[in-house]
């Protein structure tokens, strides 16, 4: 979180939520009338807007809380006038910095670009071409939820570009801006997409047209439509209790209990506290990010809302899905539960607060029955079948010498458009990848595998590594053949999806 | 391994010379520092022993480096580029031309002295490792231009 300071341009840029005529008051109740109007003659540029005045406060909410808890009460308690004055001065400087940072930041939608300007001493001007926008999320940290604000986070494609955002706007305005951005972002057929049968015109330079005005905004399901699947809270809590951190915690407590009973000395509880906090923190984080995950199906995307303290609204566009992963951990299998994760072609950078473990916030269905997961999968990739038995197991020699535990569940099969890999013993995992999304293929063979004439095939997808599909312990010759076959199929699958 | 039938090219023979020069430089520095340090700190015998250790490690590194440099290869097929490398862990990468995002050509000081360069392809995947070291500069430029042209011609979106 950037502290409100005047000279530096904060990593987050923000615009206030005033109306297009530049009026200062944030118009949450403005409704349709306060949305920026399309340019009349196509040549006049829309005016700049500002963010909500409380934005710097919420962006650095942790610092504010620290200030309030530490700086202010101390001189009052100890009655030290001198340090009180000093701390008030510091507070005043911080507030002035926040006010300046709010004043110098402004944004607008112009010429199919999102333009954000910020910074006092070092002016920073950011232009985000809406063509490159993959998704637009709505994020509401706790401070924003208390004050009725929200952040519009724009997610871009490819490497080297972080996410940008408008933090913070009032909730209604943020939702409107999100709809506008999604309407202007490219659809599946390329830059010019068809909305309701009408070909969108390319936005003219110097002005911008608002295609959404002619049709529904892309990707947003109609409000009030029934959700596709909801994560029930009871099941989520039960799944947390059946997870690894919880089990480890229970074992630890039991062990401590035994040791204490034997020795009769309970002073070791102090050493237990940080461990309990650590495990409890991990569980609490999971609960926070997965609480109430609900997926609603729209015409071109799934809208996913989730979160307990910090709520998020994300869009998972069908044509951006690179991989879907179906996971069945050991403890959930008797209950028939599973977990569905999706990998979307977007860049996740290091600043993103949500999860230390990126898997946490990629789960479309953190825990659900097999039927629910199948429903979501049918929506995302209609032709995929992940529940059948394993096909094309590795050769026999891989079982005893290379992968004794997971051999039963290893397999890979592919048709013209999809590739499915299966692996894992304790956490049975199946990954389905649309072949059109494959970036590159790799064949890896360690020394031991070479002796057994086995090789592992990796399928790479866009974004940070570690999530692609892996076909382990295949026969050497078969893996080579598979490499060529997949490369050819991926090429033809790409060609199918390309505009003519 | 796959693609054995493809026509693999190897980096320039000067790469091996350049790597030996680098290895010799590092070994010399280590020998002086460690040998001299042990000589001064403990005894001439300790210094000689440290020198021996450095020499043996340098020999082992030389042998392993020789195999690794020999194992590097690349093949330009009609639709994709194959890159193979590694001795202990053999790797083969297939990068379709349509998926390349950018190509960068780099050359460190030793490489520049020998007239070599390294070409690396990048796709949208961070895990793609298609790196070809030790190409002569005209060959590196030719590869880069050809790959860039092919990539543009066949590029697909994400």
Which parts of chain B sit beneath pLDDT 70? 1-5, 155-158
Q: Do A479 and B2 touch (CB under 8 A)?
A: yes
pLDDT bucket at A421, cuts 50 / 70 / 90: very high
Instruction: Using an 8 Å CB-CB cutoff, list chain A residues near B91.
Output: 442-445
Those residues whose C-beta lies under 8 Å from the C-beta of residue B43, and which sit 6 or more positions away, are none
Cis bond before residue A168 (omega within 30° of 0): yes
Q: Is the pLDDT of residue A300 over 60?
A: yes
Dihedral in degrees, nearest 10, Cα atoms A85, A87, A88, A91:
160
Question: B interface toward A at CB cutoff 8 Å?
Answer: 1-4, 79-80, 88-96, 98-99, 101, 122-130, 156-158
Q: How far lies B105's CA from each of A54, B19, B117, B142, B144, in Å?
A: 47, 18, 6, 11, 8
At A431, is the secondary structure helix, strand, or coil?
Answer: strand
pLDDT digits (tens, 9 = 90+) for A45-100: 788 888 888 888 888 777 777 777 776 677 677 777 777 788 788 888 888 888 88
Shortest CA distance from A345: residue in chain B: B158
Q: Do A479 and B130 touch (CB under 8 A)?
A: no
Share of chain A above pLDDT 90, in %: 14
pLDDT digits (tens, 9 = 90+) for A240-282: 888 878 888 888 888 888 888 887 776 677 777 888 888 888 8
The pLDDT of residue A17 is 34
Assembly ipTM: 0.85
* Mean pLDDT, rounded, for A285-312: 86
Lowest mean pLDDT among A113-122, A183-192, A318-327: A183-192
Q: Which residue has the higher pLDDT, B61 or A399?
A: B61
pTM (predicted TM-score)? 0.70
Dihedral in degrees, nearest 10, Cα atoms B93, B96, B97, B98:
-140
Lowest mean pLDDT among A110-119, A354-363, B41-50, B62-71: A354-363
Q: Which two tokens stand for residue A137?
A: 């999320």
Name the E strands within A96-142.
106-110, 113-118, 124-129, 133-140
Q: Do A490 and B90 touch (CB under 8 A)?
A: no
Q: Do B2 and A345 touch (CB under 8 A)?
A: no
- Which residues pair with residue B121 across a beta bridge? B103, B130
- From the CA of B127, how many Å to the nearest CA of chain A? 5
Shortest CA distance from B129: residue in chain A: A442
Cα–Cα distance for residue pair B105/B142, rounded to 1 Å: 11
Those residues whose C-beta lies under 8 Å from the C-beta of residue B57, and which sit 6 or more positions away, are B27
pLDDT digits (tens, 9 = 90+) for A439-484: 899 999 999 999 999 999 999 988 765 577 899 999 999 999 999 9
Instruction: Using an 8 Å CB-CB cutoff, list chain B residues near A465.
Output: 125-127
DSSP assignment string, A382-423? TT---SS---SPPPTHHHHHT-TTTGGG-EEEE-SSEEEEEE
Cα–Cα distance for residue pair A474/A403, rounded to 1 Å: 11
What's the CA angle centered on A423, arms A422 and A424, to 5 degrees? 145
Q: Do A157 and B158 touch (CB under 8 A)?
A: yes
Q: Which of A376, A380, A221 is nearest to A303 (CA)?
A: A221
Q: Is the pLDDT of residue A405 over 70?
A: yes
Q: Which two tokens stand for residue B21?
A: 């020069």
The pLDDT of residue B5 is 61
Instruction: Using an 8 Å CB-CB cutoff, list chain A residues near B122.
Output: 159
Instruction: Using an 8 Å CB-CB cutoff, list chain A residues near B158.
Output: 134, 157-158, 320, 345, 437, 462
| Contact status, residue B79 vs residue A487, Cβ threshold 8 Å | yes
Judge whether A480 is closer than 8 Å to chain B, CB to CB: yes
Those residues whose C-beta lies under 8 Å from the C-beta of residue B83, and which sit 6 or more positions away, are B73, B74, B92, B93, B95, B129, B130, B131, B132
The pLDDT of residue A137 is 82
Residue written as token pair 């071109």? A300
The pLDDT of residue A497 is 65
Residue A332 DSSP class: G
Q: Which residue has the higher pLDDT, A124 or B54?
A: B54
> Which one of A160, A187, A442 would you mutate to disrupt binding with B, by most B Cβ within 10 Å of its Cβ?
A442
Instruction: Using an 8 Å CB-CB cutoff, list chain A residues near B83.
Output: none
Q: Which of A439, A445, A498 is nearest residue B123 as measured by Cβ atoms?
A: A439
Q: Which of A319, A322, A323 is nearest to A302 (CA)?
A: A319
Q: Which of A55, A253, A274, A255 is nearest to A168 (CA)?
A: A55
Cα–Cα distance for residue pair A381/A437, rounded to 1 Å: 13
- A-B contacts at Cβ under 8 angstroms: 109
Q: How far is CA A472 from the centre of its chain?
A: 28
| Contact status, residue B81 vs residue B95, Cβ threshold 8 Å | yes
Those residues whose C-beta lies under 8 Å from the C-beta of residue B103, and which sit 6 or more positions away, are B119, B120, B121, B122, B144, B147, B148, B151
pLDDT digits (tens, 9 = 90+) for A186-233: 643 333 333 333 333 333 333 333 333 333 344 556 666 788 888 888
Cα–Cα distance for residue pair A121/A104, rounded to 1 Å: 10
């Amino acid at each position: 979180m950037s502290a409100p300071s005047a000279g530096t341009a904060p990593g987050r840029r923000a615009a206030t939520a005033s109306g297009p005529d530049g009026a200062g008051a944030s118009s949450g109740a403005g409704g349709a009338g306060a949305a920026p109007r399309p340019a009349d003659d196509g040549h006049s540029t829309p005016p700049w807007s500002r963010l909500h005045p409380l934005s710097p406060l919420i962006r650095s909410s942790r610092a504010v809380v620290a200030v309030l808890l530490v700086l202010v009460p101390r001189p009052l308690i100890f009655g030290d006038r001198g340090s009180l004055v000093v701390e008030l001065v510091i507070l005043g400087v911080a507030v002035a910095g926040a006010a300046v940072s709010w004043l110098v930041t402004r944004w607008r939608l112009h010429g199919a670009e999102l333009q954000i300007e910020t910074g006092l001493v070092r002016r920073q001007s950011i232009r985000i071409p809406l063509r490159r926008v993959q998704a637009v999320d709505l994020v509401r940290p706790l401070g924003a939820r208390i004050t009725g604000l929200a952040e519009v986070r724009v997610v871009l494609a490819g490497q080297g570009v972080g996410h940008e955002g408008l933090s913070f706007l009032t909730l209604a305005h943020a939702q409107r801006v999100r709809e506008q951005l999604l309407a202007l972002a490219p659809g599946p057929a390329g830059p010019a997409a068809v909305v309701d049968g009408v070909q969108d015109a390319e936005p003219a330079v110097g002005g911008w047209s608002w295609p959404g005005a002619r049709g529904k905004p892309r990707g947003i399901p109609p409000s009030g439509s029934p959700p596709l699947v909801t994560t029930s809270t009871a099941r989520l809590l039960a799944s947390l209790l059946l997870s690894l951190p919880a089990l480890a915690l229970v074992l630890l407590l039991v062990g401590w209990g035994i040791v204490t009973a034997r020795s009769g000395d309970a002073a070791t509880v102090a050493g237990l506290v940080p461990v309990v906090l650590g495990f409890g923190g991990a569980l609490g984080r999971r609960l926070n990010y997965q609480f109430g995950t609900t997926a609603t199906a729209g015409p071109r995307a799934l809208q996913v809302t989730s979160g307990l303290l910090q709520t998020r609204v994300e869009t998972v566009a069908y044509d951006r899905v690179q991989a879907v992963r179906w996971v069945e951990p050991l403890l959930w299998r008797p209950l028939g539960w599973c977990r569905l994760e999706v990998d979307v072609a977007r860049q996740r950078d290091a600043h993103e607060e949500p999860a230390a473990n990126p898997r946490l916030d990629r789960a479309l269905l953190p825990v659900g029955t097999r039927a629910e997961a199948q429903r979501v999968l049918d929506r995302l990739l209609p032709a995929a079948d992940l529940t059948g038995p394993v096909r094309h197991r590795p050769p026999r020699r891989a079982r005893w010498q290379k992968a004794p535990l997971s051999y039963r569940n290893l397999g890979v099969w592919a048709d013209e458009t999809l590739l499915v890999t299966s692996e894992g013993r304790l956490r049975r995992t199946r990954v389905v990848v649309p072949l059109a999304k494959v970036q590159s293929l790799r064949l890896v063979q360690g020394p031991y595998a070479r002796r057994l004439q086995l090789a592992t095939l990796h399928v790479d997808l866009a974004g940070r590594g570690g999530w692609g599909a892996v076909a382990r312990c295949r026969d050497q010759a078969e893996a080579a053949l598979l490499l060529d076959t997949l490369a050819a199929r991926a090429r033809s699958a790409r060609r199918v999806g390309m505009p003519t | 391994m796959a693609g054995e039938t493809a026509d693999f090219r190897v980096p320039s023979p000067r790469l091996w010379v350049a790597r030996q020069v680098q290895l010799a430089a590092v070994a010399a520095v280590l020998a002086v520092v460690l040998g001299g340090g042990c000589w001064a700190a403990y005894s001439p015998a300790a210094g000689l022993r440290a020198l021996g250790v450095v020499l043996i490690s340098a020999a082992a590194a030389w042998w392993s480096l020789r195999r690794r440099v020999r194992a590097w290869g690349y093949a330009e097929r009609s639709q994709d580029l194959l890159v193979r490398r590694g001795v202990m862990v053999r790797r083969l990468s297939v990068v379709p031309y349509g998926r390349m995002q950018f190509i960068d050509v780099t050359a460190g000081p030793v490489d520049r002295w020998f007239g070599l360069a390294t070409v690396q392809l990048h796709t949208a995947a961070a895990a793609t490792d298609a790196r070809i070291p030790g190409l002569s500069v005209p060959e590196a430029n030719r590869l880069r231009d050809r790959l860039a042209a092919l990539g543009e011609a066949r590029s697909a979106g994400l």
